[in-house]
Each structure stands twice: as C-alpha cells, then as structure tokens.
Structure 1
Amino acid sequence: MSKTVLSLQGVGIYQNEHKVLSNVNLEVQKGEFIYLIGKTGSGKSSLMKTLYADLPLHEGQGTIVDYDLRKLKEKDIPFLRRSLGVVFQDFKLLPDRTIFENLQFVLKATGWTEKEGIQRKIEEVLDRVGMLPHANKMPHQLSGGEQQRVAIARALLNDPDLILADEPTGNLDPQTSAEVMEVLFKINGNGRTIIMVTHDYALLLKYPAKTLKCEDGSVFEVVQRSL
C-alpha cells in the first residue's frame, strides 16, 4: 500500500514577500525518487526550504511526513527535521570534530543518550555509504565526494521517511557525482523517498527518474527527452 510522504495543494511559495511559485500541486509517495530542476532563481531552493520549514507556508495546503506545514509551530520544527534527512551542497560538517563526532553530535542533539546505541547507529550509517573506515578522520582529510557521503550518512541517522537533497553533487566532479548518485539510488532502492534538486542534466540522463521543473512560477512534470 502506498503512503503519501508529501502532499501540496494550491501552494504558493514565497521568498521574503516575493511570490516565486504559484499553485503548486504535488503528491509524493513513499519510495519515489524525484528530481527537481530549473534555472537559478526559478524557486527550487525556496520550495525545498518550505518543505523543511526554513520558510513558512502561508498559502495553500501542505503536509510532509505527517506534519501540517500550515499549522506548524516553532517548537515542532526540530521534530519535523528529525523525520527528514537533508543533504546540502556544501556538506555542512563541523570542521573541529571527527566524522564519528559529527554524527554523534547530531544523535545527541536529537535525543539519543545510550552510548552503545549511538555507536551502533553511527557505524551502521557510515557502513551504508562506504565510509566506516574513515570514522576517525577529520573532515579536511576527506575528499569532497567522501564528505558528501558522510553528509548522506548524517541524513540517515534518524531513519527519515524522506530525504531532501539540495544540489548534493553541485561541488563535485563528474566521476564523484556518479559515485554519490550510486549511493543515493542504493538508499532509494531500500525504500527511502528522495527529492533531489540538481542543475546537472547529464545525471538525469544517466540515472533517469521522475522529473519536476520549476519555470515561470510553476512546477510541472517533464519527460526526459524534453530537458
């Protein structure tokens, strides 16, 4: 049975007071992989920020992993974000901590207390992205691709129903981008839903999936050959 992890109906997306997207209607089912494409300034990042509650939703109806975005209170935002995994273009790893300590920090911040449980979880997610041998390294000792794998591992820590990946290959060369995509598709194959913003149309051709485009204030599905 399918489970809707994201539903937007008649949604308007605003950046400051400026409306960037109108009448957004979107249903995302558990297990889907969806690309979000569009030119710079077309509203992709504003849409993503609305989904993880960095921007408020004032127009239309929206639910994400069972949270109502219109009724979301400030105190609920950390709980929403625990139900999401967010992967950014610039990794956002803490430079003064090892990879293990980076992930430990997130788990402790989200309420984990049991030492053995924390150890097990960190080893599990690092193993899933092929980074377990690097657990005691500092971020600066890793390549960009390795840092992004760690960022994906971090996004998996609280077993999210949905992963939002905002340009996760934006700072990576083509070979490394392909490696990161393999990791993401493997995670998707295990049942995780992923929405990924990208400018890299070559990736879409190599790893085809449902594709949505932001253009002229609208969001619509496109077929690959018309990219």
Structure 2
Amino acid sequence: MSETVLSLKEAAIYQKDNLVLSDVTLNINKGEFIYLIGKTGAGKSSFMKTLYADLPLKEGDGSIVGYNLATLKNKEIPHLRRKLGVVFQDFKLLSDRTIFNNLEFVLKATGWKNKAEMKMRIDEVLTKVGMNSKGFKFPHELSGGEQQRIAIARALLNDPELIIADEPTGNLDPQTSIEVMGILREINQNGNTILMATHDYALILKYPSKTLKLQDGKIFEVVQKKV
C-alpha cells in the first residue's frame, strides 16, 4: 500500500466567501510528482493556500501529511507547515540577511536550537541545490535562478513530506526553468513528494508526469496522449 500524503474528498475551496472549486476529490501518494495546471484565475493559488492552511477548508474532507484540514486548529498550523515545504514564484527571501541567515531564520522559527546541527543542515540543503558556495551572499547578489534554488533549499530544511511549488519557474527564462526543474525532479527521485503549479506547458512536455487540471470550478486528471 502506498502512503497517502494528501487526500481530499468532496472538498469545496473558498476564497473568502467565493466558491472557487467544488467537489474536489483526489489522492497524492508518497513519492509522486504532480503538476497542477489551469488558467489564471482558475483557483490554483486558492487550492494551494488551502493545503498549507492559509485558507480554511470549509466543506468536505481533507487530510494532508497526517493533519485533518477540516478540523485543523490555529495552534496546529505551524506544526503542519513544518511538514510541508512551500516554494513561491517570487522566492520570498529576506533581503536584509545573507542566504545562510535566511535559512537559519527558518530553522530557528521551526524549533531548531543547536548551532552546529543548524549549520550542518543548511550546508546539506545548499549542496543539494548546487549553491553550497553562496551562503555568505545576499539575495540581491544572486540571479533569479539562483534565488529560486535557495528557495527550494529553504523548502527542504525540515525534510518535508510534501513540497508545494507554486509556479516555481514563473519568473525565470526557459533555460533557467529547465535547470530548476532538473533540481525538483532530482529531489523527487530522492523520495520527496512534489505538487507543482505551473503555466509552462513546455516543461510538462519535456518532463511528463501526472497532471491535474483546474477548469470551470472543477479539478480532474489530464490523460496525457502517448506520442
């Protein structure tokens, strides 16, 4: 039996009082790489925000990395987010501190105390994304692709059960997008489960994987044609 990381059953996704998606039923198993596609305004961001409890699940059943989204209490949200890694389109790095201090900040915020262990973990994740020589730099000294690599490293810090990547290549040129995608694929092959929202159909063609589409307030799996 494969382990379920995310399960939604007849869930309704709301943005404030607006119903964005209805009757969402899906399962994501450990180790899968899933694309989430759909036009702007189709509800991708609302869907993602519901998964990391930025928006409440008001209707239906949902569990993610062992937490019940329908009954989740505010005090449980930080614990849930420790088991998720979130990668944003606009990197969301803190501009006033170095890369090392950006990552250290996240570890401290999630309960790490031991300096030596923190340094070791930061070195590990930077090495995974090919950025182990950049810890002393500030975000503005890095290219967009390098900043996104750091954002992926940050998402890996607490060894998450699910990585939610919201348009991670949205601000990058095609070549850099392929490099960042290569890193995400490698992380997935090492056992991390990834759900990635994207507009970039070229990437999906280049790296085919299970694809969910949002359209007309519904979510369904796209069957990819065999070439």
Say whether the fold is shared (TM-score over 0.5): yes
User: d(CA) in 2 for partners of 1:93 and 1:145?
Assistant: 13
Deviation of 1:223 (Å): 2.1
Contact 1:99 1:134 in 2 (8 A): yes
Q: How does 1:15-54 map to 2 (within 5 A)?
A: 15-54=15-54
Q: Deviations over 1:87-128 (max 9, x none)?
A: 000000000100000000000010000010000000000000
Partner amino acid, structure 1, of 2:49: K
Task: State the match for 1:211 in structure 2.
Answer: 211
Q: Matched residue of 1:70: which SS?
A: coil
User: d(CA) in 2 for partners of 1:179 and 1:225?
Assistant: 25
**Structure 2: runs of 5 or more not aligned:** none
Task: State the match for 2:150 in structure 1.
Answer: 150
User: d(CA) in 2 for partners of 1:48 and 1:39?
Assistant: 15
- Indicate whether 1:10 and 2:3 are aligned: no
Q: Matched residue of 1:123: which SS?
A: helix
Root-mean-square deviation (CA), in Å?
0.9
- Structure 1 runs (4+) deviating above 4 angstroms are none
Number of equivalenced pairs:
226
Task: State the match for 2:140 in structure 1.
Answer: 140
Task: State the match for 1:127 in structure 2.
Answer: 127
Q: Deviations over 1:17-67 (max 9, x none)?
A: 010101000100000000000001111111100000000001000000000
Task: State the match for 1:63 in structure 2.
Answer: 63
User: d(CA) in 1 for partners of 2:224 and 2:218?
Assistant: 18
Q: Percent identity?
A: 70
TM-score by length of 1: 0.98
Partner amino acid, structure 2, of 1:71: T
TM-score by length of 2: 0.98
Q: Matched residue of 1:19: which SS?
A: strand
Contact 1:205 1:224 in 2 (8 A): no
Q: Deviations over 1:72-100 (max 9, x none)?
A: 01111111000000000000000010000
**Structure 1: runs of 5 or more not aligned:** none
